Structure 1
Amino acid sequence: YDAKVKSILNATQPGERVCELTGEKWVMDEEEIGWYKKFNVPPSKRSPLTRMKNICGFFVMYQFWYQTHPETGKKFITVVHPASGFKALPDPEWFGNDYSSVTRDIDLEVPGLDMILSLQKEIPFPGTKFLKEPINSISLASLGDVNSYFVMACRSRNAFYSADALDIEDVAEVSMSTQVKESYHVVQSHRIYKSNFILESRDCITSSFLFDCHNCEFCFGATNKRNRKYLWFNEQLSKEEWERRMADVNLSSSSKLEDYRRRFHDLMVEQAIWPDNFGEKCTNVIGNHVNNATDCSYVFNGLDGPFRDLHYCTYCYGNSYDCVFVGAPVSANTCYYTNTPVNASRVKFSHFTPDCQNVEYSSYCFNCENCFGCVGLRYKKFYIFNKEYSEEVYWNKLDEVKCAMLDRGEYGEMLPLSFAPTYLPDGGGPMVYMMKNEELEKLGGTIYPPDSEGASGVIGDVGEMKTVDDVPDRIDDMGDDWAGIPIYDPEYKRRFAYVKPELGFYRKLRIAAPRTHFVKRVLNLIMEQGSAIFFETTCGKCKTSVITTKHKDYPSRTIYCRTCYLHYLEQHG
């Protein structure tokens, strides 16, 4: 294999390329060729954007489905959609099993991806992906949830409908945020208390409708403000006048709440200034929402760091470095064209490989080393297609398999989306890269109705089904008898129901009950942070060139370079 790929790389020259799937043109430069040489892989035939769409198409984002237990017949909640063709088990059962007995013999005449897919269809997925067992909660990928409903990848208490949020309490609809309490609808914000509809803000209390505000309180409608009080849609008021206007505010009415949301959107369009990167402590970085990073390019959502030498990466965490084309590297290093390597090193073309080293074309393997084409293994070494070999035999067999896959044109691209166990239209492709169903299908994905094969379960008595138009305008007109009643969302084409504690939360915060399916609400919440699609534009002030990311809700927003943005804050913040 080494000789074959060396010959290919020696013949590779910089220049324009055309994506084999989309027809998109891009320039393969010396830096990109250097990555191929570093990872000892053939050049990709797909554009960088197509590669990232493939990788992030595996992201769950926010999904809850019912699966039927293969033995007991009981329903349980999982990220694995039953129509995906893949099975799942609750985590305790999955981790109590050993799937190394499910193997495939090497057959160089059979495509390697076909053999891996056959393993993945036979071996179930761990259905809940708990990192810490939740308490009295409906949650997936829990980091430690208590008394929470439908939260994903959270550490929460008394929370509803939230994703990727830490240390949140008494909240609903929170995403990509930390330390949020007694608040509603918060995105990409930190240390928020008793506030609603907050985006890209820090250290704010008792406020609503804020964008890019720091250390503000008693504000209602504000953009790009620092250390301010008593603002009313960016108008400075006295304490008395602000309180007089606030006395007339009624967010517990759905119709009036929507009026304020529209007014805030208009304020954002007319007055908000967006920096090219909502990040801090960055040196030589092209990215957005990236913190504590050095020498990185095209990175989206680098939450904590430190990050070093990351290129084309999204949703990065921990001490991650030397990764190229990676989705969700978590304290990972030296990984290439792969998704969710957690505490992992030297992983390629794989999906979810916690604590693995030198693993390729594998999925849901834990604490494995020197494995190729494996599924569902734990604490294993020298396995190919789930079959164990001696160390000497392993390296010889591995070389044969990689040569055969390289000759067929298989080796060198990420697992296709036919390997994804989730409902792709609600996954990372559309949410992070604004993909359409046609693009998902080009990458191997299958589109099916979300409710197929009982994935949404049964909510109450179908004969009592109501529509969102039946929901009272005012939360005060909704008693606990509304809990559990199935409501049809015609736009999302799915049913949902309120739960009793949720209605109590809305009454406490004086917020109108939302009229959209909770999954759609959280997906919209996630998209409020913008996409990971980078593009070049000019600073709205000095006209210098900047690189930033597209935003579905604000496609024509005013973007400033870092220098002009900071100067604007000094003058107007």
Structure 2
Amino acid sequence: MSETHICKNCAQNFEITDEDFAFYRKISPIINGKTYAMPAPTHCPDCRQIRRLCRRNERILYSRTCDSCKKKIISIYPENTEFPVYCGHCWWDDSFDSRKYGMDFNFNKPFFDQFEILLKTVPRMSLYSQEQNNTNSEYTNHSDWNKNCYMCMNSAHCEDCYYCTNFNIYNKNCVDCLAMQHDELCYNCVSTKGCYASIGLLDCENCIESAFLYNCIGCENCFMSYNLRHKKYYIRNKQATKEEYEKIRAELSNAKNMENARKEFIEFIKSASRKYCTILNCEISTGDHLISCKNTKNSFYGFKCKDVKFAYDFGEMKDCYDIYEPWQGELQYETHGVNESYGMRFVHVAWRNNDLSYCDSCFNAQYLFGCNGIHNQKYCILNKRYTKEEYEELTGKIIDHMLKTNEYGEFFPINLTPFPYNESVAQEYYPLTQEQAISKGFKWREKDAREYQKQTCVLPTDVKSVPPTIINELLACEKCGKNYKIVPQELEYYKKMNLPIPRKCFDCRHMERMSLRNPRQLWARKCDKCSASLESSYAPSRPEKIYCEKCFVDFIE
């Protein structure tokens, strides 16, 4: 049996199944032999996700001063925040111990009011990256083990990559890409793996020296095509010659030709028949872009997971609900950016931990409740250290208190996010206008006129005519007007790849790539060939024909 609940935030109905209730029982903490039952969620899955995403600024970086060493640094926080900000070196230094900000718990006040004090007093790290793991990659966030990377977010083990976001691993010499793995010399690609020297690929694997392909595997020197397997010299899904392909590829050095090709590609692939979702080697799973998962439901972009639901951008997870961007963890509920951790409840960005509840930015720790900025510690509450016995006794009392104040079972409220809504990842998946965001209680950052100045040069149409002095010029996005610059290594890349200088800012280019992905929602659909019932990320209003697994395989072959 399942229950229908009304979302406390948006007033929409949502379902809680028996399987969900079983998980809530499993995630319920047991302290001194007593089980503290986890309340059922009061918010629908989307509203729960928004609460997590509004705490993540991924791509907006500022120049500011470290409040410890006073050096100029790059940060996700601007100058003059209400809390201190430390550079990575100072924050991770052994001399920094955030327990000095520890507080006694006050049972006369709500928990979140007390936790807010810690959020405003404990120094925050400037970027969610460890400087010691990166080489010459100062302008990266949520990224580690990178070399010579610039404006790469949520990336690891990449080299000489620029403006790449969203789960990029083991890539080299790539620019303006999204969600790619083991690629090299790729430009403006989305959801690719093992591709080389290619442009504008979407959902492709092992393609070489190609441009504007959708759902192609093992193709070489192909252009403007979809659903190809192991083809060479195809143009618009028809066999072509080497000379015809090389002529079209050479024309992409022209900015107008590149933009026209991008627009044509978007329209061209609407006629492509689609598999209802991308699910490979999975059992009893629903969502999209899932690989080697079992009993993984309503989840998107994950691999090697079991018994997971409402998960996004995740890998190697087990027994988890409501998680965003975790890696190698088990028994997690309502978490964001929590890696290599077990027994995590309502936690924001934490790595290598055990048994944390209501914590923010804690690392290599265990048995924490309501802590901020703790690392290499255990048995702390509101950043104050206790004995094991004291910790367990007090934690149980705090949960009872939070149940009375209707706080336990809820993620951090939106008023505790340090970011404006329009600088958070929430704006990418759940866009709001300024008026809508403010009416819902979110912060909003107004445009800064200094970022919207007049362009200082005329950009040549063809990259061959672009002078080296372009790196000294201020450019203005042709879509939103925001200023951007070309860095030296970026110019070198465009020249090498025979690509035009982009006419749009990083943000607009990123959102264009994001628009190529399906929404992270599921609809009840029927296979357009055999009428089998499906849960698909393709809305019924979309024009594409969708097929079930069997019919799509038959169609491709």
TM-score of the two chains, using structure 1 as the length reference: 0.88
Q: 1:240 to 1:367 in 2, by over 3 A?
A: closer
- For 1:36 and 1:194, locate their aligned partners in 2 and report how far apart those are by CA, in whole Å: 47
> What residue in structure 1 maps to residue 258 of structure 2?
257
> What residue in structure 2 maps to residue 503 of structure 1?
491
Give the match's secondary structure for 1:300.
strand
Following TM superposition, by how much is the alpha carbon of 1:59 offset from its aligned partner in structure 2, in angstroms? 3.5
> How far does the alpha carbon of each residue in 1:155-176 deviate from its partner, in whole angstroms, 9 at most, with x for none?
2222211123122222211221
- For 2:476 and 2:100, locate their aligned partners in 1 and report how far apart those are by CA, in whole Å: 45
Is the CA contact (8 Å cut-off) linking 2:191 and 2:204 kept in structure 1?
Answer: yes
> What residue in structure 2 maps to residue 157 of structure 1?
159
- For 1:208 and 1:490, locate their aligned partners in 2 and report how far apart those are by CA, in whole Å: 23
Structure 2 counterparts to residues 179-258 of structure 1, below 5 A: 179-239=182-242, 241-243=244-246, 245-246=247-248, 249-258=250-259
Following TM superposition, by how much is the alpha carbon of 1:279 offset from its aligned partner in structure 2, in angstroms? 2.8
Give the match's secondary structure for 2:259.
helix
> What residue in structure 2 maps to residue 10 of structure 1?
none
Is the CA contact (8 Å cut-off) linking 1:451 and 1:494 kept in structure 2?
Answer: no
Is the CA contact (8 Å cut-off) linking 1:81 and 1:422 kept in structure 2?
Answer: no
Structure 2 counterparts to residues 507-546 of structure 1, below 5 A: 507-546=495-534
2:47 to 50, 64, 72: 50
Q: 1:525 to 1:420 in 2, by over 3 A?
A: farther
Is the CA contact (8 Å cut-off) linking 2:69 and 2:90 kept in structure 1?
Answer: no
RMSD: 2.6
1:315 to 295, 313, 316: 313
- For 1:229 and 1:25, locate their aligned partners in 2 and report how far apart those are by CA, in whole Å: 50
- 2:298 maps to 1:298: yes
Q: 1:540 to 1:83 in 2, by over 3 A?
A: farther
Q: Report the identity percentage.
A: 22
Q: 1:556 to 1:210 in 2, by over 3 A?
A: same
Letter of the structure 1 residue corresponding to residue 527 of structure 2: C
Is the CA contact (8 Å cut-off) linking 2:479 and 2:508 kept in structure 1?
Answer: no
Q: 1:116 to 1:440 in 2, by over 3 A?
A: farther
Letter of the structure 1 residue corresponding to residue 272 of structure 2: A
- For 2:222 and 2:255, locate their aligned partners in 1 and report how far apart those are by CA, in whole Å: 21
Q: 1:399 to 1:230 in 2, by over 3 A?
A: same
> How far does the alpha carbon of each residue in 1:26-85 deviate from its partner, in whole angstroms, 9 at most, with x for none?
222322222222222111111122112222333334332223322555431122345764
Is the CA contact (8 Å cut-off) linking 1:135 and 1:146 kept in structure 2?
Answer: yes
> What residue in structure 2 maps to residue 169 of structure 1?
172
- For 1:120 and 1:547, locate their aligned partners in 2 and report how far apart those are by CA, in whole Å: 41
> What residue in structure 1 maps to residue 31 of structure 2?
none
Letter of the structure 2 residue corresponding to residue 227 of structure 1: H
Letter of the structure 2 residue corresponding to residue 142 of structure 1: S
> What residue in structure 2 maps to residue 147 of structure 1?
148
- 2:388 maps to 1:391: yes
> What residue in structure 1 maps to residue 64 of structure 2?
67
Is the CA contact (8 Å cut-off) linking 1:78 and 1:128 kept in structure 2?
Answer: yes
- For 1:315 and 1:513, locate their aligned partners in 2 and report how far apart those are by CA, in whole Å: 31
- For 1:190 and 1:35, locate their aligned partners in 2 and report how far apart those are by CA, in whole Å: 34
- For 1:517 and 1:149, locate their aligned partners in 2 and report how far apart those are by CA, in whole Å: 15
Structure 2 unmatched ranges of 5 or more: 29-37
Q: 1:198 to 1:423 in 2, by over 3 A?
A: farther
Is the CA contact (8 Å cut-off) linking 1:195 and 1:205 kept in structure 2?
Answer: yes
Q: 1:450 to 1:374 in 2, by over 3 A?
A: farther
- 2:321 maps to 1:334: no
Q: 1:33 to 1:81 in 2, by over 3 A?
A: farther
Following TM superposition, by how much is the alpha carbon of 1:297 offset from its aligned partner in structure 2, in angstroms? 0.3
> What residue in structure 2 maps to residue 126 of structure 1?
125
- For 1:537 and 1:65, locate their aligned partners in 2 and report how far apart those are by CA, in whole Å: 45
> What residue in structure 1 maps to residue 402 of structure 2?
405
Following TM superposition, by how much is the alpha carbon of 1:378 offset from its aligned partner in structure 2, in angstroms? 1.0
Structure 1 unmatched ranges of 5 or more: 1-12
Q: 1:551 to 1:75 in 2, by over 3 A?
A: farther
- For 1:450 and 1:44, locate their aligned partners in 2 and report how far apart those are by CA, in whole Å: 36
Letter of the structure 1 residue corresponding to residue 295 of structure 2: D
Give the match's secondary structure for 1:316.
strand
Letter of the structure 2 residue corresponding to residue 66 of structure 1: S
> What residue in structure 2 maps to residue 111 of structure 1?
110
> What residue in structure 2 maps to residue 100 of structure 1?
99
Give the match's secondary structure for 2:60.
coil
Q: 1:212 to 1:398 in 2, by over 3 A?
A: same
> What residue in structure 1 maps to residue 35 of structure 2?
none
Is the CA contact (8 Å cut-off) linking 2:86 and 2:124 kept in structure 1?
Answer: yes
Q: 1:567 to 1:440 in 2, by over 3 A?
A: farther
- For 1:308 and 1:81, locate their aligned partners in 2 and report how far apart those are by CA, in whole Å: 39
- For 2:482 and 2:81, locate their aligned partners in 1 and report how far apart those are by CA, in whole Å: 18
- For 1:338 and 1:442, locate their aligned partners in 2 and report how far apart those are by CA, in whole Å: 26
